[in-house]
Amino acid sequence: RTVYVNGDYLPETEAKISIFDRAFLMADGVYEVTSVLGGKLIDFDGHLARLERSLNELDMKKPAAFDDLLEIHRELVRVNEIEDGLVYLQVTRGSDGDRDFVFPDPETTEPTLVLFTQSKPGLANSPQAGKGLKIISIDDLRWGRRDIKTVQLLYPSMGKMMAKKAGCDDAWMIEDGHVTEGTSNNAYIVKGNKIITRQLSNDILHGITRAAVLRFAREAQMEVEERPFTIDEAKAADEGFITSASAFVMPVVEIDGQTLGDGAPGPVARRLREIYLDESLKTAV
Ligand code: PLP
């Protein structure tokens, strides 16, 4: 695989980052994951806009002009012959060659920019979409700036492990009795044709797929309510689903052992998945 590090395209075995890089020592970095379908990037503008926001919130420098970032994405997709898959991009604050809590001087410290691809043949035809996900609920023990897409992913990883140990697929996180989001996705329930999902705030990541799916839902005259919902409300819902750049729209069929509806992926989730895949391919670059 060819990867990109700070201006160079390299075989992955030759890519190097300093051990003092602040992402390695302090999780001082942000990232984006953009999916690739048919060799094209899905929702690319949205991912770059969120990257810019994450960088601004953390006073981090832009690593490159955004036109250049598009070119790097395209070049990696081309050289690695990615038909379906993902492009991962990470920007870190870099390092001044030492470990210190205080940020290094931005005048003399360059950010680190890394990109790589992951091939996922048949990404849009995942058999999981036909079965739906089994979810457990766990406490949300993350920090308070979940709107910034940082590489600080230990708790979400632990959540996925808890789900796996319970024989489930993923976890929804709960704060004050209400669902915030999934470990790596936004969470939704459907009650009587109404789509309910938590409103944007610092409590959740502002999903790029979420924004597109809610827009498509409204355009299709579906009713959307943006508010917190409780885990009990979720267990009593007609259906559930999640969204993310790599899962698109994925139905949820079970929460903490409680079956939703008839236990099969619901009609709203299935329809939104179809609409999202159709519509987002039209604007793919
Ligand atoms: N919420 C969290 C915590 C995430 O990590 C992600 C994606 O990685 C999402 C939501 C979904 O965001 P997007 O649709 O932009 O992939």
Helix (H/G/I), strand (E/B), else coil: 91: strand
- Is the same domain home to 230 and 205? yes
Number of domains composing the chain: 2
Please report which helix (H) or strand (E) contains residue 255, including its range.
strand 248-255
- Tell the burial category of 121 from Cβ atoms under 10 Å away from its Cβ (0-12, 13-18, 19+): exposed
32 pocket-lining for ligand 1 (C-beta < 6 Å):
no
- Is the same domain home to 146 and 245? yes
Structure tokens at 87: 């492009």
- Is the same domain home to 202 and 88? no
Q: State the chain's mean pLDDT as an integer.
A: 97
Structure tokens at 175: 């704060």
Please identify, by atom number, the ligand 1 atom nearest to the C-alpha of residue 246: 16
Residue ending a domain, choose from 70, 93, 122: 122
Pairing of strands 178-182, 170-175: antiparallel
- Rounded to whole angstroms, the Cα distance separating 74 from 215 reads 27
Catalytic residue (choose from 40, 61, 149, 164): 149
Per-residue pLDDT at 280 exceeds 90: yes
* Rounded distance from Cα 184 to ligand 1 centre (Å): 5
- Is the same domain home to 38 and 179? no
Catalytic residue flag (residue 149): yes
- Tell the burial category of 64 from Cβ atoms under 10 Å away from its Cβ (0-12, 13-18, 19+): middle
Count the helices and strands in the chain (H runs, E runs): 8, 15
Mutation pick for ligand 1 pocket among 157, 186, 241, 272 (CB with most ligand atoms within 8 Å): 186
User: Is the pTM value of this prediction over 0.95?
Assistant: yes
Mutation pick for ligand 1 pocket among 146, 185, 206 (CB with most ligand atoms within 8 Å): 185
* Rounded distance from Cα 140 to ligand 1 centre (Å): 15
Q: What is the CATH number of the domain that holds 67?
A: 3.30.470.10
- Is the same domain home to 52 and 8? yes
Per-residue pLDDT at 66 exceeds 90: no
Q: What is the CATH number of the domain that holds 254?
A: 3.20.10.10
For 175-231, what is each residue's pLDDT tens digit? 999 999 999 999 999 999 899 999 999 999 999 999 999 999 999 999 999 999 999
205 pocket-lining for ligand 1 (C-beta < 6 Å):
yes
The pLDDT, as a whole number, for residue 4 is: 98
- Is the same domain home to 158 and 278? yes
73, 4 contact by CB (below 8 A): no
% of the chain residues with pLDDT over 90: 99
For 229-276, what is each residue's pLDDT tens digit? 999 999 999 999 999 999 999 999 999 999 999 999 999 999 999 999
191 phi and psi, to 5 degrees? -130, 115
